[in-house]
């Protein structure tokens, strides 16, 4: 599959390369990773709007609002137009029209705009982002891409329940890494600020959903608590789950891995080509400790 630059000739006979047309969803899903990255980079453009805000073309298809002070995420989008292309392509291959998709840890909305189009007009998107500043950008981006009518935004921390609010620590220049902290946490000793936000569970949010098909969870260490609060949703809907796992973040990583295996009876990880492979609990706990794994749970075989 090739997405080629258009070639034209001017009056002097010189050849000029025109920008390629916008990417289609099937191209995002099926291109080779290296080719997709090159085409997306060629299509990436941005405009600074003032007040530390820019709008950038991502994935050769969508427009996304970005905070230009964000160093770890926004800078990549502004320069390259993509983020975690392996997970991007996995989502594009596995989320279909009519599905209900949930983006937990939606941040500025990179995955949300993709998932929002993938589910189509008959599907639903639930985007969960506790950081009020990031959630504002998320909503504006969904609106800009015409996806707001099929989307629901929840500005809340997700967990196991038992509390109505939670404290969120937002790092300066790194809003994508906002983390839930204890009530005794003192932000004065760190570079960032605290904000109190509502606390809910996935089961509460999905109580009236007729179907839940796909859940992406990236919660900076809160994944274990979130899983405790979505047992009913899993039992009822058996969604495909993509979860970020880092053994260094959990009090008892082995216990958490074992609880993950019990969900679907299998354990897969997503490689850098967007393909899910079997992985053992021992590998998760001993290899690349301190780095993030993307785990995939599903009853069937992912595409």
- Residue 225 counted as domain residue: yes
Contact 247, 285 (CB under 8 A): yes
CATH number of the domain at 106, please. 3.40.50.150
Give yes or no for residue 96 having a pLDDT over 70. Answer: yes
Strand 276-278 to 268-270 pairing: antiparallel
Contact 124, 98 (CB under 8 A): no
- Residue 135 counted as domain residue: yes
pLDDT at 72: 86
pLDDT at 10: 45
Most confident of the following: 3-7, 48-52, 286-290: 48-52
pLDDT at 15: 42
- Residue 67 counted as domain residue: yes
* 170 confidence band (pLDDT: 50, 70, 90): confident
Average pLDDT, the chain: 90
- Residue 174 counted as domain residue: yes
- Residue 85 counted as domain residue: yes
Give yes or no for residue 301 having a pLDDT over 70. Answer: yes
* 61 confidence band (pLDDT: 50, 70, 90): very high
pLDDT at 6: 45
Mean pLDDT of 100-107: 97
pLDDT at 176: 63
- Residue 8 counted as domain residue: no
Q: Among residues of the chain, what percentage have pLDDT more than 90?
A: 74
Give yes or no for residue 9 having a pLDDT over 50. Answer: no
- Residue 130 counted as domain residue: yes
Distance of CA 9 to the CA centre of its chain: 42
pLDDT at 7: 37
Contact 90, 33 (CB under 8 A): no
CA-closest candidate to residue 61, choices 48, 74, 73, 44: 44
**Range scoring the smallest mean pLDDT among 16-20, 38-42, 47-51:** 16-20
- Residue 3 counted as domain residue: no
| Number of domains within the chain | 1
pLDDT at 212: 98
pLDDT at 52: 94
Domain that holds residue 142: 20-297
Mean pLDDT of 274-286: 94
Q: How far, in Å, CA of 132 to CA of 58, rounded? A: 22
Please enumerate in sequence order all residues whose Cβ is within 8 A of that of 159, keeping only pairs 6 or more positions apart, or say none.
Answer: 166, 180, 199, 200, 201, 222, 225, 226, 228, 229
pLDDT at 211: 98
**Range scoring the smallest mean pLDDT among 98-102, 165-169, 179-183, 198-202:** 179-183
Contact 269, 295 (CB under 8 A): yes
């Amino acid at each position: 599959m090739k997405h080629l630059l258009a070639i034209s000739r001017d009056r002097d006979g010189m050849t000029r390369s025109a920008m390629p047309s916008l990417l289609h969803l099937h191209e995002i899903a099926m291109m080779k990773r290296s080719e997709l990255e090159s085409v997306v980079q060629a299509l990436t453009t941005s405009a600074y709007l003032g007040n530390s805000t820019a709008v950038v073309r991502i994935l050769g298809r969508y427009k996304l609002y970005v905070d230009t002070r964000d160093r770890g995420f926004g800078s990549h989008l502004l320069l390259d137009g993509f983020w975690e292309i392996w997970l991007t392509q996995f989502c594009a291959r596995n989320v279909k029209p009519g599905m209900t998709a949930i983006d937990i840890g939606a941040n500025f909305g990179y995955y949300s705009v993709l998932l929002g189009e993938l589910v189509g007009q008959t599907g639903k998107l639930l985007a969960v982002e506790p950081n009020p500043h990031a959630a504002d950008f998320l909503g504006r981006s969904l609106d800009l891409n015409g996806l707001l009518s099929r989307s629901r935004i929840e500005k809340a921390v997700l967990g196991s329940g038992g509390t109505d609010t939670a404290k969120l620590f937002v790092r300066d220049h790194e809003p994508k890494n906002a983390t839930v902290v204890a009530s005794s946490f003192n932000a004065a000793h760190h570079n960032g600020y605290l904000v109190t936000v509502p606390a809910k569970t996935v089961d509460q949010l999905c109580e009236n959903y007729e179907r839940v098909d796909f859940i992406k969870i990236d919660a900076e260490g809160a994944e274990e608590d979130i899983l405790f609060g979505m047992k009913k949703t899993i039992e009822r809907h058996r969604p495909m789950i993509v979860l970020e796992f880092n053994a260094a973040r959990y009090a008892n990583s082995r216990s958490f891995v074992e609880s993950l295996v019990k969900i679907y009876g299998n354990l897969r990880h997503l490689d850098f080509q967007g393909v899910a492979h079997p992985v053992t609990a021992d590998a998760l706990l001993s290899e690349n400790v301190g780095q993030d794994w993307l785990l995939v749970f599903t009853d069937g075989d992912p595409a």
